[in-house]
Amino acid sequence: MDIWNKRHVTVVISGGIASYKALLLIRQLMKRGATVRVAMTAHAAEFVTPLTFQTLTQQPVVLDEFTATDPKYVVHVALADWTETMIMVPATANLIAKVANGIADDAATTTILATTAPKFVIPAMNSHMYANPAAQRNLNQLVADGLHVLTPATGMLAEGYSGKGRLPEPDVIIDWLTDQLTQLTPNLPLAHQHVLVTAGGTREAIDPVRYISNRSSGKMGYAVAQVAREMGADVTLISATDQLPVPVGVHLVKVASAAELLTAVNAAFPTTNLLVMAAAVSDYRPVQSADQKIKKPADHGDLTLQLTETPDILKQLAPQKTSQYVVGFAAETQHLLTNAQRKLTQKRLDLLVANDVSKPGVGFNGDTNQVTLLRPNQEPVKTALLSKIEIARTILTTAVAGGAVKA
Ligand SMILES: Cc1cc2nc3c(=O)[nH]c(=O)nc-3n(C[C@H](O)[C@H](O)[C@H](O)COP(=O)(O)O)c2cc1C
């Protein structure tokens, strides 16, 4: 179910040039099932009228608590108690300063102070205002007080020059909010776990412009990283591709060759709880990578490339394994189970995901996959043809059930 469904969300709008963008965000929240109420500062009402927000949300807008007409309610307390999630967007330097200091001098800031709901702050301001030490001090104070603060985007500002301070696009804000909110869900299966995922096909340089690689798109590894994050993990994704959007909340480490991937995995492995090696690591690389582009010989003769084996990462990691749960992948075109079973044992894996990449809809590039899960001393389990996200969920759930999370 969507995390926004039926959620009581209060959006506080302060007086910035990006106030109108709050309308787009509110529409998206409502589309996802949230009930949204708006509180505005007096200066925000100079930019967009309360009537616009009232019409959009079909709820009264809180602007001034001293002219309230219903004697049964104190406006800011009623709204604060109703709120399950509070979003300040755009948050002006002024609003941030007030919240950091507990100032409550209008309906919006009083509601912020009065609510116990998780609070999300989306600053937007001129780049010099954002860089000002006072603004930075206030933002740090918000983080120290447990509020969640989104870093502004860098780009063209309303002032006509470029800098850091722009309100990120509504899609970026929604993805960030959804990730932050998900991480606050109690009892996520991978909470407090460090999950390391590798993805994509490595590239082994022949010369500065050419390389040897494979057909792996990285989609399976990216799906594992996304689902691991949704399950509450602290996820590092070591990626040999830059063609895919990085899942929100996931730390990215970019690599190209098998050797770079090995270095990155080695660095992270000691503090990893669960490693999922979904990258398609080249088995061979050119013995020499030429410094300059290789030219065609004058006689147009054949060119012979001499290849040498790349390091076998899983084999190298096996002796270093302490409490880590290690998941490997085997892409085969024949003798799937025999080859996979051998790999499971030889590389001391806890789980091996085998797929027959010769079948349509399976393995490289597509959005679907069908795999067989092998674990030591257990019968192999074959999945249906599923989306890569669903396959990722199956892999991680199997890992959790198999003891990936130590008590
Ligand atoms: C045209 C215009 C645009 C502004 N844009 C911003 C802005 O993007 N961010 C910001 O922090 N302040 C901005 N300000 C300044 C705030 O409106 C001002 O600090 C005000 O006191 C904020 O009040 P509030 O936080 O109660 O809404 C802008 C002012 C004007 C006149």
pLDDT along the chain (407 residues), means of 10: 95 97 97 98 97 95 80 84 98 98 96 97 97 98 98 91 94 97 95 97 95 92 97 97 95 97 96 96 94 83 91 89 94 84 91 84 77 93 94 97 89
For residue 357 and ligand 1, the question of a CB distance below 6 A is answered with no
CATH architecture observed for domain 194-292+306-401? 3-Layer(aba) Sandwich (3.40)
Q: Does an H or E element contain 141, and which?
A: helix 133-144
In angstroms, rounded to a whole number, what is the distance separating the alpha carbons of residues 248 and 240?
18
Burial class (CB in 10 A: 0-12, 13-18, 19+), 146: exposed
In angstroms, rounded to a whole number, what is the distance separating the alpha carbons of residues 41 and 14?
5
329 is in an annotated binding site: yes
> In angstroms, what is the span from residue 15 Cα to ligand 1's centroid?
5
Predicted local distance difference test score (pLDDT) of residue 76:
85
Q: What is the CB neighbour count within 10 angstroms for residue 127?
A: 18
Predicted local distance difference test score (pLDDT) of residue 331:
83
Q: What is the CB neighbour count within 10 angstroms for residue 341?
A: 17
Which positions ≥6 away from 71 have C-beta within 8 Å? none
179 is in an annotated binding site: no
Predicted local distance difference test score (pLDDT) of residue 170:
95
CATH code of the domain occupying 8-183: 3.40.50.1950
> What are the residue boundaries of the structural domains of the chain, listed by start?
8-183, 194-292+306-401
> In angstroms, what is the span from residue 157 Cα to ligand 1's centroid?
13
In angstroms, rounded to a whole number, what is the distance separating the alpha carbons of residues 10 and 110?
13
347 is in an annotated binding site: yes
Find, among 24, 25, 33, 2, the residue nearest to 182 by Cα: 2
In angstroms, rounded to a whole number, what is the distance separating the alpha carbons of residues 145 and 316?
44
For residue 16 and ligand 1, the question of a CB distance below 6 A is answered with yes
Predicted local distance difference test score (pLDDT) of residue 406:
83
Fold identical between 8-183 and 194-292+306-401? yes
Burial class (CB in 10 A: 0-12, 13-18, 19+), 203: buried
In 69-116, where do the E strands start and end? 85-91
For residue 124 and ligand 1, the question of a CB distance below 6 A is answered with yes
User: Any idea which residue has 């949704």 for tokens?
Assistant: 230
For residue 232 and ligand 1, the question of a CB distance below 6 A is answered with no
Name the residues annotated as catalytic: 214
> In angstroms, what is the span from residue 92 Cα to ligand 1's centroid?
6
Q: Among 11, 12, 17, 130, say which to mutate for ligand 1: greatest number of ligand atoms within 8 Å of CB.
A: 17
In angstroms, rounded to a whole number, what is the distance separating the alpha carbons of residues 35 and 29?
8
Closest ligand 1 atom to the C-alpha of 92? 11
For residue 41 and ligand 1, the question of a CB distance below 6 A is answered with yes
